[in-house]
Each structure stands twice: as structure tokens, then as C-alpha cells.
Amino acid sequence: MSTPLIFKFGGASVKDAASVKNVAKIIALFAQRPMVVVVSAMGKMTNAFEEVVGHWSTNELGLAREKIGAIREYHFTIIEALFADSTLVKAEVQELIDQLSKGVDKMECSYSEAYDYIVHHGELISTKIIAAYVGIETPTVWQDTRLLIHTDAQFRRATVHWEETTQAILKRIVPGKVNVVQGFIGASSTGKPTTLGREGSDYTGAVFAFCLGADSLTIWKDVPGMLNADPKTFQNTTKIDRLPFNEAIELAFYGASIIHPKTIQPLKKKGIPLHIKSFVDPTAQGTIIGGVDRAIPEVPNFILKKNQALLQLKTKDLAFIAEHHLSAIYQLFADHGVVVNLMRNTATKAVFCINHDAIIIPKVVAELTGSFDLELESDVALLTIRHYRKEDEQKETQGLEILLEQRTPDVVQFVFKRF
């Protein structure tokens, strides 16, 4: 039996009925191979579910129910456009919607646990629809990733338990069919749903590729491959044809949106190449990560992270910032799931550029205020240029109000005030 193909389709590739039909056509091109298809929530649905979380956290349950109703209608519209008889699929999706509504009404738990419970329904719903539609032409089975990917109980950033996960995947994946699985999610030892971090469906694909010893992992995108910058933000981007694993890890670490930071490590460990291909032009070459020593072509890479905050901390007694201060700060960040994208400390000050989570950051600031004098600049962005050239650096920073700059021989980063 041939090794299963591992495909991952993100939200943009399943945003409407036409997109779902296109995914089914791509899968049909490889119908002779067993397959695991990892699917994200449809379109921008993760954002919609996060709005439900926000309403739950402020006890605005009426608004939460309204948003759930809008989510239901979005999916039902897609279902009606896909199926001549939509009764069964609608019933399955309605069951998940009812489960979500009851949970929102009754939940008494931490914000992070509630987040995972609410948001993971996006993947459950999308995969029900995809599996049903692909199954019209191709033997397909819907799999519950909560039974396959075993994690700890660190909600919103769960760690995979590899041995239990490998055993579950090998036991449950059906060799002769297309196995449709949810990206981004797993479950703790007590069965509570967990998530692997925002945009974690790529990582899910890598987990399945690793556990099944796959020949490759293919991530299907709305771009022709991996570009040296996001074309929505930067002009004159260049497609990278080949990229070493280590370079991909570095770019992911700094926030390259096309790959989740954890995706590359399990692939590198087994030498499994990662293909990034276009779902618009599925026969085009795309980008291959792995199997080379240098990027082809070698070009600067530009990464812009918006929605950042710059947090500056000083000790109240003006003492030096020492190791025990930094240890306490990082422990607090870890406890709340704060992502640090850049850090610098001087004798009396520590400065952090962090993801600006509107729910979490005020709680963290409140806890830090007792021990530190602090300043929070909330409306900032972080620009990273890897393999920078002076002319690129000057062009991209012209006119910006730079708040913090940090550089190494390979990487320069600028935190700047957004305007």
C-alpha cells in the first residue's frame, strides 16, 4: 500500500461553495492514493468564533447567540449551494451549533478553556461539509481529530503528546479512503478540546505526516508558492522555489504567515519535504521546503506583524532589571499565553514587543503594575527583514516613527508607530 498523501486546506480555500468544489477537484486528481485531508474553519470563521468568545467573556450572551446565528446561516448558505438534498448535512451541522449554544450558556471556566471550546467548532463544522461533499464522488471518512491528536491541557497553545497521538492515528486512519480531519485542534487526557495555536492547521498537517511517515506534506494556498513577502502588504514580491528546513524555521519564527512556527520541526526530523502549492493552479510547481542547503533564489524576506503592543517595564525602586525580574515576567507571559516577538533589556528597563490580545493584555498589565512602573504603546507594528540590504531597509522604513530597533548580521527588526 502506498504512503498516504497529506493535504492541508486553509480557510481561504474553503470560503464558499465554489471553493469547496475546487478542493474536491484537487482531491480527485490524486484519487488513486490514500489521503489525509486537513481542513481549517471556512473563510474568516475563526474570527467569527472569536467574537463569540469575546461576547461570552463580557457576559453578553445575547450577542453571543446572535453571532452563532450568523455563523449558522453562513454555513447553511454554503451547504444549500453544494447539495441537491442538504437535509443530512444540515442536521449534522445543526447538532454542532446546538452543542455550541448550550456550552456558551453554561460554561464556567477560564478564558483560554472557553476559547478552545468555542473556536474549535469552526473546524468541526467545516470538515462535516467537506467530507460530505467529497464523499459524493470519492470514498471518504470524517475523522474526529479530538480522538487522534492527544495534547496536554494548556489551552490555546497545547503541546502534542507524540506517542499517544501516533498510536491513535495509526489505529484510526482508514487506508483506502480520503480521511477528512480538523486542523488546529486536539484534546486533553480528560477529553477537553484544545487548540494548537492560531493558524495551527499547518502544524496539524505536519503531525499527521510525521506519525504516518508520509512522503510529503502539501499546504494549498491562494498564492503560487512561498513568497519573500506578503503580496497584500509589499510590492514586487518574489517566489521562492526551494528553501532549506532551517531557513523556513527562521522565517516562521519571525512570523512569516505562510507557515506556522511549529510546522517544520517534525518534518525536518524525518526529512519529509513540505510543498506549498496554489489551489488556483494546482499543477504549478509551487515551493518545496527541504532537500537543499540554500534558498533558490536568495532574496531578502520581509515580515510585517500588525496588532502589536510595546510594553516597557522598570523596577519601582530603579534597581537593575535582574534575572529574577525577567523570570517572573516570562512566567506571567507563559501563564497567560502572551507571545513575545522581540525583547530588549538595559540596566533598568525591559522592553517587549508582544501580540496585542485585547482580552489578555489588560490582565497582564494589571498584574505587572504592582511590581513595575510600566508604559504600554498599543498601536504599533513590527517589521522584520531577514537577509536585509541597506536599500531595502531604507525603503521600507522611510517616514516611519521607529520606537525600537534591533539587528543581528542576518536580521533587522523595527517596532514602529502605526498611522
pLDDT at 333 over 90: yes
pLDDT at 291 over 90: yes
Cα–Cα distance between 66 and 62 in angstroms, integer? 6
Q: How confident is the model at residue 2 (pLDDT cuts 50, 70, 90)?
A: low
Main-chain dihedrals φ then ψ at residue 294, nearest 5 degrees: -150, 160
Q: C-alpha angle with apex 344: 343 to 345, nearest 5 degrees?
A: 130
- Per-residue model confidence as pLDDT tens digits over 382-411: 999 999 999 999 999 999 999 999 999 999
When comparing pLDDT for 337 and 154, which is higher? 154
Q: What is the pLDDT of residue 40?
A: 96
Task: Report, as an integer, the average pLDDT of 285-290.
Answer: 95
Q: What is the pLDDT of residue 241?
A: 97
- Per-residue model confidence as pLDDT tens digits over 159-218: 999 999 999 999 999 998 999 999 999 999 999 999 998 778 999 999 999 999 999 999
Q: Which long-range contacts (C-beta less than 8 Å, at least 24 apart) are formed by 324-332?
A: 325/350, 325/372, 326/350, 328/371, 329/368, 332/364, 332/367, 332/368
Cβ distance 211 to 173 under 8 Å? Answer: no
Residue with cell 535582574: 322
Q: What is the pLDDT of residue 415?
A: 96
**Which residues have a Cβ under 8 Å from the Cβ of 222 and sit 6 or more positions away?**
12, 13, 278, 279, 280
- Per-residue model confidence as pLDDT tens digits over 338-357: 989 999 999 989 999 999 98
- Per-residue model confidence as pLDDT tens digits over 111-144: 999 999 999 999 999 999 999 999 999 999 999 9
Boundaries of every domain in the chain = 5-215, 301-417
- Is domain 301-417 annotated with CATH 2.40.110.10? no
Percentage of residues in the chain having pLDDT higher than 90: 85
pLDDT at 53 over 80: yes
pLDDT at 253 over 70: yes
- Over the chain, what is the mean pLDDT? 94
Q: Considering only the top CATH level, what class is 5-215? A: alpha beta
